[in-house]
Chain A
């Protein structure tokens, strides 16, 4: 059973904000929410992660719902280089920090 669900694809115009949603209704109190992205012909790379509070870094922001059953990755100004598959992942601490991947959202950025 998938631990995270995401839309298969989304589109955004260049230089506009993008909100990528993720549902993780079975999350437990100690599970972390991670986001990775995969550019063409590369392995996934870290974007951001959080536990309960919203998080910001130079790449993106992560907004976590109060009940933690959903989260949103926010790219503040999409660029063509942000076109990738974005994975929302649960890191389950009590299984040794194992990652549980969803099928990802393919983001297309339109010039």
Chain B
């Protein structure tokens, strides 16, 4: 079964801490994405990457950075966590070509990391 694995389901961090959220996919996908999900706002794209060492800003990149040193791994970094970054974070991956099937160009999502910043 194809998988996107996020390292933690639940995380509690203190304000000002540097936080790393890790995501690993085993489908050899080129594209990887980080979203945050908040009640009433749906999924909002933070950053995405089309290839190793490449990154693009999404709709809400402020306060975040990313790292993609290997094809299978995409890390989201909160440089100095703040309470307004308390949210559910979802990682997804997809292949470059457009066929729309999960594991090809459809997105496969991880189960999410619920981050609480206190």
Contacts and interface: CB of A to CB of B under 8 A. Distances in A.
B40 A43 contact: no
A97 to B, nearest CB: 5
A78 B75 CA distance: 38
Nearest to A48: B100
- Classify chain A's interface size: 20 to 34
Nearest to A100: B45
A87 B98 contact: no
Interface residues of B, number: 28
Q: Name B's interface SS.
A: strand
Contacts of A98: 45, 48
Interface string A30-59: 001010100001111110010000000000
A101 B109 CA distance: 14
Contacts of B112: 41-43
Contact of B90 (A32, A44, A46): A44
Contact of B100 (A34, A41, A44): A34
Given A42-B112, A49-B100, A34 B50 contact: no
27 contacts: A34-B100, A34-B106, A36-B107, A41-B111, A43-B4, A43-B92, A43-B109, A43-B111, A44-B107, A44-B109, A45-B102, A45-B109, A46-B101, A87-B43, A91-B100, A91-B105, A97-B31, A97-B94, A97-B98, A99-B33, A99-B92, A101-B43, A101-B44, A102-B42, A103-B41, A103-B42, A104-B42
Given A43-B112, A49-B106, A98-B45, 13 more contacts: A32-B98, A36-B107, A42-B112, A46-B102, A49-B100, A87-B42, A91-B100, A96-B50, A98-B48, A99-B33, A99-B92, A101-B42, A103-B41
